[in-house]
Structure 1
Amino acid sequence: MISGVSVPAAAMTELLTAVVGGAATARITAGERGRSLEMADGVRFLFDRNGHYLNDVNGWQLRMGLRTSSPATRATRSSAIKRVLGWYDERGLRWQDCLELAHMNRLWLSFRSAESPLVSKATWNQWMDHWFAFVLYAKQTGLVDDIGFNRSDVIERGRSARPVRALSAGEFKTFVQAADSSRMRAGCAACLGTGMRVSELAALRLSDIPDPQSPSNIGRAYLPATIMGKGRKVRTIYWPSTAIKWIQWYVNGERRLAVETLRQRISKQEITASQTFLTVGSGGSLIEQSTSPLWLAENGEPLSQKRWGKDFAKVSDRCGKNGPQCSPHNLRHSYAIATLSLLINAMLKKEMVDRHLGREEGRVYFMEPIREVKERLGHASIDTTMIYLDHIAEHRALLSMAVSELQATYFDA
């Protein structure tokens, strides 16, 4: 359990210097941790269940505390961080490994479940404001490599509704049909088909897309490729052939027009070739290499990661309040749930066949799919992947598939 104590204002500057300078004591004894101190300033310094002083979190609190004049705001910030960190600490998880939207969905279920909410929507939003501010600081200072959610993903708006987790096949089709560009449709196919993060999506190059006409790929439904993921770790993903087709339509259509627009801007001397990914070839022609960025804006410049979030938000608005609301991470979540569900289903079938044939190979039909999905998503810890098990039964389309399979196996046999 995360615990905390507070100190008066006079000691804040001294503590900030000590903590940031690395001179803080690594471990606080039980007696020191339990000592009752004056809470004049509202800053609650946090310790883990073993009494270790949380340097990163407390250092951030001290920085923020020096900028905040209101003791009430300091107290609210400390309380919010304590509750979120406490939730992870109770489950034996490190906050550095808990920055996926799946973790936030599970956290939301613990505190804001419609059946028995423990906190109000206003309190939840207050927590998320402070928590997102901290993890953003952690990313900016290099404490973590990436954050798997945006503030808008975790803040409740309007009525207290459950956050989007996974899209059914029908919802995905509705969302894609509402898109007004082949780039957006290709991006949706890439996220849902491979489960990649939006940062990985934005960083794709032309050379990252496998060639379906390559002799080793002909006739294959899924084409393997490697990408550079979170923490600069290389991992293998599998591209569905349909997703490749959607990307090829974009490359041969909208992207080709964007490259031509870029060449025209260079010829008009609005920009120089050295400012772009184009190189000057023989005869002065402008050539692009296979390492050129895959996604281009309408003016021919590389598409930013933030632009993807804005484009998804626009399509969500176009779908209306009753239509599917989607972000790139929702599609990553959909990929994880669908893949995990189908792999478990396949393993259960294999188990039934093995038993029929008298082969007992052990009950691996949960762990093997989880390990496979962990590798595909690039999770550092299998605990992160395990969270998706909580959502499988909640995915309506997959539940329907399970019921149909049950009927075909047990009732129609």
Structure 2
Amino acid sequence: MAKRRTKLQLMQQAGPPEKSTQSVDSIRNDFLDYLRGECHLAANTLAAYGRDLQRFLDWLGRRRLDAVRVGDLTEFMGFLNEQQLAPASVSRSVVAVRTFFKYLQLEGLVTENPAELLSAQKLWQRVPGVLSRRQVEDFLAAPRKTDAFWQRDVALLEVLYATGCRASEVCSLRLADLSLEQKFLKCTGKGGKQRMVPIGGRAIEAIERYVDELRGILAAKNPNRPEALFLSRSGRSLDRIQLWRLVKQYARRAGVDHQISPHSLRHSFATHLLAGGADLRQVQEMLGHASIQTTQIYTHVEHSRLKRVHQQFHPRA
């Protein structure tokens, strides 16, 4: 009897063979393959999730995944805050950990998901500052004819604000994606998803001037006949870093907040549309958001602005 009890205890301690033999590194790699193959995450998002997850696993050390409890995850949140990470980075880390434990549960590697009770910081609290309409006008007028590639830069900034596209989406635009007569652009978003985005007259004029006067000169510097719409001085496709630098350069010239980024124009695009009475579903479609909850962060931004106005001017606020 004693012999049988000892055998049972050993079996209980060992657990299922597939769980005990699979390393944490192997589980991590399988999870990233799952995000890549089944969730169709973009490469940049996948890389960010990988870094977030590795930070969590490094913090976890030798503790078993199936032994993690809500209290442990709360301690991890405190650790992230101690690292003085940006609120957006903390929130993304929480999403990565929650998704990871959901995957572990689906795979039968854990029986309970303690991360379900883990709450991330509210999305709307970490939306970057939105430019006013006057600031947008000053910013879009910042390129001067004395600038070497002013036609390209004017078109670039106009497209960012006119469409609300992400920096990566604007950089990947091709000539074939333009339907200027129909006032549309075809852009490729996260996960390779394509959508048609309307574009206004000012941006169309800027694009046509750039294509007529400058793009051919830049394209001639690259024998590979580039298809990209926006080209660098060497004739290659403009990348996100170059775009970011141009936005910073013209923001400084226009006297706009130094923290402005290409994404700030996307936020301003959405907020100004909603403030003007646009339907939330339509804005969601133009931004390419998979979930309307993501688009709703802009209603919070607009409500916050109205609240400040009320507190400032209402006699009984």
Q: TM-score range by the shorter chain?
A: 0.5 to 0.7
CA distance in 2, matches of 1:305, 1:204: 12
CA positional deviation for 1:386: 0.9
Which of 302, 306, 316 pairs up with 2:241? 306
- Match of 1:184? 153
- Match of 2:18? none
Residues 1:387 and 1:205: Cα distance change in structure 2 (over 3 Å): same
Residues 1:323 and 1:232: Cα distance change in structure 2 (over 3 Å): closer
CA distance in 2, matches of 1:63, 1:302: 37
CA distance in 1, matches of 2:268, 2:158: 12
Residues 133-168 of structure 1, C-alpha deviations (whole Å, 9 max, x = no match): 8999xxxxxx9xxxxxxxxxxxxxxxxxx9742212
- Match of 1:110? none
CA positional deviation for 1:300: 1.2
- Match of 1:198? 167
Matched, 1:172 2:141: no
Write the letter of the residue equivalent to 1:304: D
Which of 215, 234, 239 pairs up with 2:199? 239
State the number of aligned residues. 233
CA positional deviation for 1:370: 0.9
CA distance in 1, matches of 2:234, 2:251: 24
The alignment's C-alpha RMSD in Å is 4.4
Matched, 1:224 2:219: no
CA distance in 2, matches of 1:83, 1:172: 38
SS in 2 for 1:315: helix
Residues 342-373 of structure 1, C-alpha deviations (whole Å, 9 max, x = no match): 125xxxxxxxxxxxxxxxxxxxxxxxx11111
Matched, 1:261 2:212: no
- Match of 1:342? 276
CA positional deviation for 1:383: 0.5
Which of 289, 294, 311 pairs up with 1:379? 289
CA positional deviation for 1:392: 1.2
Residues 1:234 and 1:62: Cα distance change in structure 2 (over 3 Å): closer
CA distance in 1, matches of 2:159, 2:86: 34
Length-normalised TM-score, structure 1: 0.47
Contact 1:174 1:324 in 2 (8 A): no
CA distance in 2, matches of 1:14, 1:62: 18
Contact 1:341 1:392 in 2 (8 A): yes
Write the letter of the residue equivalent to 2:139: F
CA positional deviation for 1:182: 2.4
- Match of 2:229? 294
CA distance in 1, matches of 2:52, 2:155: 43
- Match of 1:27? none
CA positional deviation for 1:338: 1.1
Residues 1:251 and 1:81: Cα distance change in structure 2 (over 3 Å): farther
CA distance in 2, matches of 1:331, 1:64: 36
CA distance in 2, matches of 1:248, 1:197: 21
CA distance in 2, matches of 1:196, 1:19: 35
Contact 2:53 2:93 in 1 (8 A): no
Residues 1:18 and 1:235: Cα distance change in structure 2 (over 3 Å): closer
CA distance in 1, matches of 2:302, 2:52: 37
Percent identical: 27
CA distance in 2, matches of 1:81, 1:237: 40
Matched, 1:316 2:268: no
Write the letter of the residue equivalent to 1:252: D
Contact 2:219 2:225 in 1 (8 A): no
Contact 1:81 1:127 in 2 (8 A): no
More helix by share: 2
Residues 1:258 and 1:58: Cα distance change in structure 2 (over 3 Å): closer
- Match of 2:266? 332
Contact 2:178 2:186 in 1 (8 A): no
CA distance in 2, matches of 1:21, 1:301: 34
CA distance in 1, matches of 2:305, 2:157: 19
Matched, 1:60 2:54: yes
Contact 2:178 2:184 in 1 (8 A): no
Write the letter of the residue equivalent to 1:307: Q
Write the letter of the residue equivalent to 2:180: D
- Consecutive unaligned residues of structure 1, counting only runs of 5 or more, are 1-12, 24-54, 68-77, 86-118, 137-142, 144-161, 218-222, 263-272, 279-291, 345-368, 404-413
Residues 1:18 and 1:250: Cα distance change in structure 2 (over 3 Å): closer
Residues 166-217 of structure 1, C-alpha deviations (whole Å, 9 max, x = no match): 21221112222333422222111111111111111010011212233xxxx4
CA distance in 2, matches of 1:317, 1:132: 29
Which of 65, 70, 82 pairs up with 2:77? 82
Write the letter of the residue equivalent to 2:159: A
- Match of 2:24? 16
CA positional deviation for 1:79: 6.3
Residues 1:18 and 1:259: Cα distance change in structure 2 (over 3 Å): closer
